[in-house]
Amino acid sequence: MRFMMIVKANSETEAGVMPTQEELAEMGRFNDEMTKAGVMLAGDGLRDSSKGFRVSYGPGGAEKVTDGPFAEAKELVAGFWIIEVSSKAEAVQWAKRVPFREGELEVRQVFEEADFA
């Protein structure tokens, strides 16, 4: 089972504030633990929304591109991990170990090919 652990943005991440050296070291250790356990498939931090854009699709497939930044930082994603584990319970255990002191982590199961059979 694959899960995406989604790190929610906040006013600091949207302002482009980088993690401290201590926070980066902690995150590196956590990533190493997941890699050694064979569960981490991918993981990255995302730049603030001012460096991004959105594409919206209207009637007849018309596209509209809107450059960031975007309001409501709490609705934005600041980073992610994709993990592969044997159960939801195992995903919960990894999510509880994320080295955050505050904020929110959303975890969502990824569709598998068999789900579409």
State the SS3 of the chain: CEEEEEEECCHHHHCCCCCCHHHHHHHHHHHHHHHHCCCEEEEEECCCHHHCEEEEECHHHCEEEEECCCCCHHHCEEEEEEEECCCHHHHHHHHHCCCCCCCCEEEEECCCHHHHC
Structure tokens given for 84: 């592969």
The count of domains in the chain is 1
52-104 per-position pLDDT tens digit: 999 999 998 889 999 999 987 778 999 999 999 999 999 999 999 999 878 88
Identify the domain containing residue 52 by its residue range.
2-116
CATH of residue 79? 3.30.70.1060
10-35 per-position pLDDT tens digit: 999 999 999 999 999 999 999 999 99
Question: Which pLDDT belongs to residue 20?
Answer: 92
